[in-house]
Structure 1
Amino acid sequence: MVSPSASPSPSASPSSSSSPSAPTVGFDLDMTLIDSRPGIRACYLALAERTGTFIDADLAVTRLGPPLVDELGNWFPADRVDAMADLYREMYPAYAVAATPALPGAREAIDAVRAAGGRALVVTAKYEPNAKLHLAHLGIEPDAVVGDLWAEQKAEALREHGASIYVGDHLGDIRGARAAGALSVTVATGPYDEAALRAAGADVVLADLTRFPEWLAEHRRDGHGGNSPATGYREAPRA
């Protein structure tokens, strides 16, 4: 279920705060808006030291995207994974937040949505309180943040907020956009290159978020503003 803390207030709903042609755009967090590898690596190393369990942190940060418990299952017995996930999340603010920078173009991408009169939300598999800490630390202020959702689960939040576009770096983000009937815009700043993202069915492939404001402006000039479902709509990928 979508976190109540992320539900839009009546004054912030798409129908009341956005013009009919203004988009609502969802963004993934890890490796889309932020380069979370340094912070996550530091937290994994601290967890390994605290528990006396080997974790290949360098390997782990090459496969970010899926839920934390999936990765921890590679290093801990199944009956300890949930407890280790709780411990990791507890340790995370001290080790990961300050060490994590914004990716190039992250703030400008959010600003571009706002400049178009739209709403920007972050929908991520990351534990929601820690996602909010990252955004606050970096001064990135979306209209809503929804955490703890992965792949097709993200469609719940995207539909609830009326998002017509979802921007991510992972194949799971493409699946989430598809399930929501949203346009899948991808950036090749995560574990997949542009060719892999295209092959997985992304509608749009950008090198990184620095290309997003220009793409959004072109998208709107071509008459694709607003929050109507994008199912079946295909756009030529842009490198």
Structure 2
Amino acid sequence: MSVAVFLDLDGTLVDSRPGIVSSLVYALTVTGHPELAASDLTWMIGPPFVESFAKAGISDPAAAIEAYRVKYQEAGMYDAQVYAGIPEAMDAIGLAGARLYLATAKPHAYAKLITAHFGLAPRFVAEYGPELDGTRNWKGDLLAHALAETGEDPARSVMIGDRHHDVAAAAEVGMPSLAVGWGYGTAAEWHGARAVLERPDQMPEAVARLFA
């Protein structure tokens, strides 16, 4: 099965909600938004924070992002866990002949530390995420960059993720997508995905069916 599988990180491979939310609460509190800090912040996990902070009405997203990064690097980065069944699913996909790539909205400077910490990094051919300055924050740009760099054919590739950004970005570059139901997205976000998976152990078969 000579195909490329691009995998999201937060909400797809790793349940990173505790560390991300605690860092968001800190950032929102110190930048003067205690009412938002006290709300449910799950919706902010996945999309680029510059987009989410702006959507929340924060006038200085850059300051909030800087505060978030301070707390995240200090305490939040590894306050997470790999979803049960993910390593086995990744191994099964790789054994079937597919190439695995990380494609995350998290800056790669952080993402690579996380995948190494949790033992996922050796399974990837390459790992892609935005730059810290926001370059390639939009996942469509990130996937286009990854395809150009790797030479992978989008028609023989698939994006797997939990949010609408994953589905929309894949469509933008001409690759199909699979949505996962165990992350932070909702059913309304998955329109356009070829299938919605409920468990990690469904990933290998779903990928195989796409390219049968």
Does the alignment reach a TM-score above 0.5?
A: yes
| Whole-Å separation in 2 of the counterparts to 1:175 and 1:96 | 28
Change (3 A) 1:72 1:193: closer
| Whole-Å separation in 2 of the counterparts to 1:63 and 1:110 | 26
2:166 paired residue number = 173
Shift in Å, 1:50: 4.3
2:40 paired residue number = 59
Name the aligned partner's letter for residue 206 of structure 1: L
1:71 paired residue number = 52
Name the aligned partner's letter for residue 142 of structure 2: K
Partner deviation per Cα, 1:152-193 (whole Å, 9 max, x = no partner): 223313422315111011111111111121121111123434
| Whole-Å separation in 2 of the counterparts to 1:43 and 1:99 | 10
Secondary structure of 1:109 counterpart: helix
Query: For residues 219-238 of structure 1, what are the structure 2 equivalents within 5 Å?
Result: 219=210, 222=212
1:105 aligned onto 2:105: no
Identity, in percent, stands at 30
Partner deviation per Cα, 1:21-58 (whole Å, 9 max, x = no partner): 42111011111111111111111233345445414265
1:192 paired residue number = 185
Query: For residues 113-152 of structure 1, what are the structure 2 equivalents within 5 Å?
Result: 113-141=93-121, 142-148=124-130, 149-152=137-140
Over aligned residues, Cα RMSD in angstroms? Answer: 2.3
Name the aligned partner's letter for residue 202 of structure 1: A
1:44 aligned onto 2:35: no
Secondary structure of 1:152 counterpart: helix
| Whole-Å separation in 2 of the counterparts to 1:57 and 1:107 | 34
Q: Which has the larger radius of gyration?
A: 1
| Whole-Å separation in 2 of the counterparts to 1:153 and 1:177 | 10
1:32 paired residue number = 12
Unaligned segments of structure 1, at least 5 residues: 1-20, 223-239
Name the aligned partner's letter for residue 167 of structure 2: I
